[in-house]
Amino acid sequence: MAPVILHMDVHCLRCARKIRRTIEHLHGVERVWAAPESGLVFVSGTADASKLKWRIESKIGTPVTVVSDGERCFPTYTPGSTISARRRATRRLTRTTAAAAAAGGSSTTTTTP
């Protein structure tokens, strides 16, 4: 079974620990992983996504969005893949802009984040 993936504001490691402690003892939860850098919470096991959402919202008080309910098979998410993809796109844009500037004769290059 695919993991349940939730999206919410996870500001720091303390927030991640609070989320983990809130849902780790629920029936059907095997492992909880909260990522502050992406705001995603991964829950492996047979737990129901709506129960996890309700528990987090009632105990912590922050809104939660269900990204994957564990029923459907989504592409595997690897932590940091979004950041790596963004860095690769920025590098490509920088190289393309620098190559265009060199071909056009302009001495300034602009990069966009």
Query: Count of domains in the chain?
Result: 1
The model's confidence at residue 11, banded by pLDDT at 50, 70 and 90, is: confident
Percent of the chain with pLDDT over 90: 44
Residue 52's domain comprises: 4-68
Q: Is residue 83 part of a domain?
A: no
Angle ∠(33,29,68) on CA atoms, nearest 5 = 65
User: What is the pLDDT averaged over residues 36-63?
Assistant: 92
CATH number at residue 12: 3.30.70.100
Q: Is residue 34 part of a domain?
A: yes
> What separation in angstroms does the CA of 83 have from each of 10, 14, 87, 103?
16, 22, 6, 30
Percent of the chain with pLDDT over 70: 62
Q: Is residue 74 part of a domain?
A: no
| 89: pLDDT strictly greater than 80 | no
Question: CB–CB of 10/34 below 8 Å?
Answer: yes
Q: Is residue 99 part of a domain?
A: no
Q: Is residue 59 part of a domain?
A: yes
Q: Strand order in 29-35's β-sheet?
A: 29-35, 40-45, 4-7, 65-68
Q: What is the pLDDT of residue 109?
A: 47
